[in-house]
C-alpha cells in the first residue's frame, strides 16, 4: 500500500489537523447563505486556503454526504504536460484530518477503457490542484469517514474531441447519485507574470474588466454548454487553469441531456480575486465556487 503525502500541508494550508478543522468550520459556517444543493458536482478553486478557502466553502457547503460513496476529483496538470488523463499510483491520500482511500475498483474500470495512464508518485505529490481539494473533501464527508472512497484524476491538455470522449466515459458516473464530482479550477490569472493582460476599458478598472471576463465564462458554464465554453476560451484566451476538467464535466452532462428526463442546473455561488488590479504591473488570480444539481 502506498500513500501520497500531503506535500503542501504547512505551506498552502495548515498541517495541524485541529487548526485546519477550525478554519474549515469557520469558512463553511460563513458560507451558510449559499444554497444550491445537494450537489452532484462542484467547481472549487485550488489556491492557498488563505486566498481561496472562504470561496471554496460556498461550493463544499452544497454537499450532502448521506448517499455519497465515492468522490471523483478532476484537477488540471500544472507541472507535467499530458495529452490524456492520468490516475494515481497511490492507494490512499494523506490529509491532516484523516487519510482518504482510492477506489481501486473504479480505477480498474477507467484503465479498462484504454484512455488513462498512470502518473508517477513524484508528479502526484508535486501537483496541488487535487491536493488542495482533499482537506475540504475530508471535512465535507466526515460523517462517512471510512465509508467512502476517492477517485483522483489528473486531466491533461485535452483537445475538444478528447474532452467529449472523456465526458462520455465519466457520464455514467456523474449520473449515479452515489458519486460526487469535484472539478478543481481557478479562474483568470491576470498580469505580466501570467503573460495575460486582456483588458476591456468599458468595464472600468482592470479588476472590473477581469470580473466581467470571468462572469462571461461563468454564465456559459451555468448554461452547461461545452461548445460555447470552448468558443469563449478560443476568443478570449482566459487563463482558467481548470478549463479541461470543466470541459470534461460539461461534456459529461451534455451526453446525459438527451431524453433521459434529468433536470440539471449549475449555479455559481461565490467569486473573488486575490487582489485588485489597477495597472499592468499588478497581478491577480480569480476564484469561483459553483454547484451542479441533478433531479429526475
Q: Which of 95, 87, 92, 132 is nearest to 3 (CA)?
A: 92
Q: Which of 89, 13, 100 is nearest to 57 (CA)?
A: 13
Q: Are 56 and 268 a contacting pair, CB within 8 Å?
A: no
pLDDT at 1: 67
Neighbours of 279 (CB within 10 A): 8
Query: How far is 73 from 206, CA to CA, in rounded Å?
Result: 32
pLDDT at 111: 98
pLDDT at 296: 74
In a 13 Å sphere around the CA of 249, the CA atoms on its Cβ side amount to 33
pLDDT in tens, the chain (296 residues): 699 999 999 999 999 999 999 999 999 999 988 799 999 999 999 999 999 999 999 999 999 999 999 999 999 999 999 999 999 999 999 999 999 999 999 999 999 999 999 999 999 999 999 999 999 999 999 999 989 999 999 999 999 999 999 999 999 999 999 999 999 999 999 999 999 999 999 999 999 999 999 999 999 999 999 999 999 999 999 999 999 999 999 999 999 987 677 889 999 999 999 999 999 999 999 999 999 999 87
Question: What does pTM read for this prediction?
Answer: 0.97
pLDDT at 32: 83
Q: Which of 169, 167, 72 is nearest to 113 (CA)?
A: 169
Please give the domain boundaries of the chain with CATH numbers for all domains: 3-295 (3.40.830.10)
What phi and psi values does residue 152 have, to the nearest 5 degrees? -75, 135
pLDDT at 277: 98
pLDDT at 33: 81
pLDDT at 259: 61
Amino acid at each position: 500500500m502506498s500513500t501520497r503525502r500531503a506535500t503542501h500541508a504547512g505551506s498552502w494550508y495548515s498541517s495541524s489537523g485541529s487548526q485546519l478543522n477550525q478554519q474549515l468550520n469557520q469558512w463553511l459556517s460563513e458560507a451558510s447563505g449559499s444554497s444550491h444543493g445537494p450537489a452532484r458536482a462542484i467547481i472549487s478553486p485550488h489556491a492557498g486556503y488563505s486566498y481561496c478557502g472562504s470561496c471554496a466553502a460556498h461550493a463544499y457547503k452544497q454537499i450532502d454526504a448521506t448517499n455519497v460513496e465515492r468522490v471523483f476529483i478532476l484537477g488540471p496538470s500544472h507541472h507535467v504536460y499530458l495529452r490524456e488523463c492520468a490516475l494515481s499510483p497511490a492507494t490512499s491520500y494523506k490529509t491532516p484530518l484523516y487519510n482518504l482511500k482510492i477506489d481501486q475498483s473504479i480505477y480498474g474500470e477507467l484503465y479498462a477503457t484504454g484512455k488513462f495512464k498512470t502518473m508517477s508518485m513524484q508528479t502526484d505529490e508535486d501537483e496541488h490542484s487535487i491536493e488542495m481539494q482533499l482537506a475540504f473533501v475530508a471535512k465535507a464527508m466526515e460523517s462517512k469517514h471510512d465509508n467512502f472512497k476517492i477517485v483522483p484524476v489528473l486531466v491533461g491538455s485535452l483537445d475538444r474531441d478528447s474532452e467529449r470522449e472523456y465526458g462520455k466515459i465519466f457520464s455514467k458516473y456523474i449520473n449515479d447519485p452515489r458519486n460526487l464530482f469535484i472539478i478543481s479550477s481557478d479562474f483568470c490569472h491576470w498580469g505580466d507574470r501570467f503573460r495575460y493582460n486582456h483588458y476591456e476599458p468599458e468595464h472600468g478598472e482592470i479588476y472590473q474588466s477581469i470580473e466581467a471576463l470571468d462572469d462571461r465564462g461563468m454564465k456559459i458554464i451555468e448554461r452547461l454548454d461545452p461548445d460555447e465554453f470552448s468558443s469563449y476560451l478560443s476568443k478570449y484566451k482566459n487563463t482558467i487553469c481548470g478549463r479541461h476538467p470543466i470541459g470534461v464535466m460539461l461534456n459529461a452532462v451534455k451526453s446525459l441531456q438527451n431524453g433521459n428526463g434529468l433536470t440539471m442546473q449549475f449555479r455559481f455561488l461565490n467569486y473573488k480575486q486575490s487582489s485588485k488590479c489597477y495597472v499592468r504591473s499588478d497581478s491577480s488570480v480569480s476564484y469561483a465556487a459553483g454547484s451542479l444539481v441533478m433531479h429526475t
